[in-house]
Amino acid sequence: MTSTTMTTASVARGESADAAVIAVLERLYQAWAAGDADGIASLYTDDATVCLPGVFHEGPDQVRAFFTAGFAGRLKGTRGVDEVGSVRFADPDVAIVVSQGGILMPGETSVPAERLVRATYVLTRGDGNWLIASYHNCPLQGR
């Protein structure tokens, strides 16, 4: 995986709901590349949850703190990459995105197989804006 641009067949067909959801994830990875923890946190709902191996965060303040510390330390100079596998809608205001991706360390052009993850995003739409309500990832190994 060498691209931070997210694509799906439905976006290529111009389906705007899918494109609007994926645009949120694109903004997430643009903020990551810029080391912008505030920009990342702004994409999460007030009651969002983030569950990663060994990590659980609730709300944008905890997401912000995680990325602020990360960008000052082990995530400095990294980029998140993701390739959307599917976007489906539980209802018109709830989207579920399944993707595969990982973290590119400085100088890397692809994510090593042992660091690839499968991720699930749940996004909700309120006031016309899509935000991330939940994010979970786990190692891709053992597919």
Tens of pLDDT, residues 117-136:
999 999 999 988 999 999 99
Query: Which domains, and CATH codes, for the chain?
Result: 9-139 (3.10.450.50)
Tens of pLDDT, residues 30-81:
999 999 999 999 999 999 999 999 999 999 999 999 999 999 999 999 999 9
What per-residue confidence (pLDDT) applies to 123?
A: 98
Contact predicate 5/101, CB 8 Å? no
What per-residue confidence (pLDDT) applies to 128?
A: 83
Contact predicate 112/130, CB 8 Å? no
What per-residue confidence (pLDDT) applies to 127?
A: 87
What per-residue confidence (pLDDT) applies to 9?
A: 37
Residue 141, pLDDT > 90, answer no
- The token duo for 6 is 């997210």
